[in-house]
Each structure stands twice: as C-alpha cells, then as structure tokens.
Structure 1
Amino acid sequence: MKTNFQSPQQFFRQRRLRLGIVLAILLVIYGVSMVLVNFQTLASLMQVPAGLIWLFKNFIPTERSISYLGPILYQLWRTLIVAVSSTICASLLGLILAILGAKTTSPLPGLRLVIRFGASLLRNIPVVAWAMILLFSFKQSDFTGFLALFFMTLGYLTRAFTETIEDLDGEKLQALQAVGANYFQCVFCGVLPEVASTLTSWVLYMIENNLRDATLVGILTGTGVGFLFNHYFKSFRYDAAGLIVLLIAVLVICLELTSTQIRRAIA
C-alpha cells in the first residue's frame, strides 16, 4: 500500500510557492489600482518627510496652547460621558437581544433571525453615516452623537454577545432543564455567570473604541472635543489642536490600562 509521504523540503517549497503567488496577486492588484486612480507612489513617498516636518513643527503644543486647557478638558469630559453612556446603554439592550437571538437561549427561531439581521444592519452602517442621518432629525447636539454611537455599538455588541453565548457548552443548560429549571433560571444561573467576564471585556473594548469615534462624531454634530478640534484647526491654531490630540491619546491609553486591570481582576 502506497503512502503519499511529503518531505520537509517539498512542504516548505510549496509554502513558499503559495506565498509567492499571493504576493504576486497583491502586487498586481496594487498596480492596477494605482493606474486606475492615477496614484504616484514614488512622488507621494518623497513628500512624506516634508509632511512630517510640518506636522511636528505646527502641531506641537506651546505655552499659548496651555491657556486653552480649561475648555479642552471640559469638552473632553463631555465626550467621555457620551462614549461611556452610549456603550453602557447599548450593552444592556444588546445583552437582552443576544439572549433572545442565540441558538442556545432563543425561545423562537424566527425571533433569532430577526435579531441577527437587525444587528448586522446596525453594525455595518458606519458611525459617521449614523451621525449624518441623525443630524437631520436631532440637529447638532450631544444626543445626536449619543444615538450615533448607540446604534453602531448595539449592532456590534449584540453580534459579539450572541456568539459568546453560543460558544457555551449546552450540557449545563440541559442539566438545569432536567432538574426542572425554567427559562429565566437557566439564563441567570447557567448562562450569565459563565459569560460575564467575556461580556465585560467586550464592553470595555467598545468604551475605548467609542471614545475615539466620539471625537469624529463631534466634528459632525458640533459638540464635544471633536468640534473644538475642528474649530481650532480651521482657526489655524494648530498648537491647540495638537494639544487636543495629545490629551485624547493620553485618555485612551489610561482607559486601555484600566481595562487591562479590570480584565485581569475578573479573569
């Protein structure tokens, strides 16, 4: 009986061949795209050093930008509140929808399909598009930014929570049902305790992500630190705009460190 034995040399040769084919296809796609949009790679790369020099020369915070620190911190606080509140509200509703939409906990198959379709629809609409759509109905306000972040986060977390719940071992739920536990007892005693740490990690991740998105949404809705950045940028006060970017980066890093500590504590 013959066995197809492949030597290590042949295995690595085939892997290099596949990798070479993939790289060649990517290069062809890049070349065709470059021709179609008339993009000049070398000319653009030559302009990178000058652009970086201008950036570091103008966007470095100065002593004058310190005088804007008060309004910047106030608007940054408002942006943080919008990001956190929209995430918390979306996570609570998303958890309910995920329980109703997961295969292991859904009471109705038809309801599961509706929830999955709605979550995919909400998740695939960019937050900028949400902000522009809601802007016509709710005007420029913090509530418009809240809703834009809320709808996008609701779709994202509903999908993530649903997949997390479906990854659970169904034997525990079957054991609870065998001893006479009702639907709510199975959910609160068999599902939520098992997925609590994972769901918390998703919520913390979305808070970090929404803080960055809230800055962009603020430019469109005329609120928060995004609006202040746009105002300073258009007023050619680049040092103040650079201070805003620096403070946002510091706040995001602090949130990431805090999230890491929380994840370790609940792991």
Structure 2
Amino acid sequence: MRIAMDKQPLDDAASVTRFINEVKQSKPDGLLLIPFKKSHWEHVTRIVKEAGIPTVVLATLGILLVGHINQLHEKSGVYLINSLDNLDAVEEGMKMVQTAHWMKESRIVNIRGSETKETTVPHLGTQVRTVPHTKFYEEFKRTKITDAVKSLAKAYLKNAEKVVQPTKADILEAARTYFVLKRIIETEQADAMMMDCLPGLSRPHKHPPPCMGFMSLRDEGIAAGCQADLNATLTLMLVQQLFDKPGFQQNASMETEKNHYFGAHCTCASKLSG
C-alpha cells in the first residue's frame, strides 16, 4: 500500500478546494483525513461529500464532540475513528480501502456449464471468467500421480486426526484435484475460483470430489467457492483480504427433533481458525 501525504495543511476553504480538485484529477483509491481541531471538521465533511471516495477519518480524543461523530459514524464509505492514538484502527481502515481496490482488480475463474464468458460483479467490479466443465475434465485426465501429488496425499493422511472412509487411492485422487485447480487458476490468471462440481460427480463420475483441493487452496490464501456460489466466493475473498484468514462455506441445516442448527457438507481450510 502506498500512502501519499499532502505537504500543505488544509486550513481554509481555498486549500480544501485545491485538495478536492486534485483528488478528482488523481482519483486515489481512498483518503486519510486527520483533523487537529474542531474548526477543521467542516473541511472534513466537505471533502467527504465532494470527493465521494472511501475515506478514513482519524480524530484523537478531545477533537470531536458527539454531534460531530454522529454526522459521519454511520455514513457509507467513511470509517470514522474517534480514539486515543489508535493507529491499529487506521491500519484496519486503510486495509478496507486496499481490499476494495483489490476486489476491483481481481478475477474469479468459474468452472461451470459449457460456455466461456466474462461478467463483472456490480459495485465491487470483480471480473468473473466462466470456463466450461470440460476444461477441468481434460486437465484432470492430463494430471498424473506425480511425486508432488503423492506428497500432498501423504500430508493429508499425516495431518488427519482420523481417516474414516476414504482409501489411499481416494486420497491420491483428491490430491490430484488440487493441482488441476491450481493450474486452471494460473492459466486463467485468476485470483480466486469457484466450481459447480455436481455435474462431474453424477454417474459415471468424471472426477472425484474436489473438496480437498479447495482446502489446500484456502490454506494458500486462495478463495475457493463451492457450487459456483458467487456471493460465497466474494465473501471468502473479502475475509481473506481483510483478516488474512481463510473462510469456510457450508449449507445451513436443521435437526428439528433435537432443535439443532448445523452446517452440512462444509468446506474450509485445514485449520478452521486460520
């Protein structure tokens, strides 16, 4: 992240006008405004209104009154910090700005259907490149059981607390899916992926469930969404960028007689807490 600080203080209407015009020309991803006295507050609110871009405002305790805080603390696009020299909060706010930029520049490869097409997510600007299932099927056929595949399968077995059902052959096949997914991500120059795996799992199976591959991708900080669920994949991307931890995905389910709510066929990283 690059932060360019204006050398001139914004202490009067003329300097604020100059600054707003410069912002409109240079179009930065966001602003960091630091008022040092109450009389600066009208400059802050004017910049927020006229610049119209994501803004982090840092006011140390004693600068603002409750009325000032109420003006911006719930305003969309503004992260207002009224605290005692809390630079951690500033970092969080700037990370939000950085994440918004990253989402706009990012691409999701969507393995689904039979067509190749591209769309853009409204508001976030993330590109979604859809590639047909056949791309995964063909790549899976080409992917042999190499030493790297064997090593990953061995790690799956070693790190598992218990192996309940799959055979060693099943685990080798699961490891192959990671390398297939990683190669598709690289060839499509994507930052995240999602897949509708169900067609390939109908009989006769064209490939094994790719869940373990999803797990390994998330271990690397790559968002991997199940069932080509765009909202879930975008959320995984946001969580990864904002908190530096992988998220998880599940279907909500209920056991009515025991009054239990639980997650069914979950996917997550190898460590749920990151």
TM over 0.5: no
Instruction: Specify which structure has the higher proportion of helix.
Output: 1
Instruction: Specify which structure has the higher proportion of strand.
Output: 2
Higher relative contact order (CA 8 A, sep 6+): 1
Normalising by structure 2, report the TM-score.
0.24
Normalising by structure 1, report the TM-score.
0.24
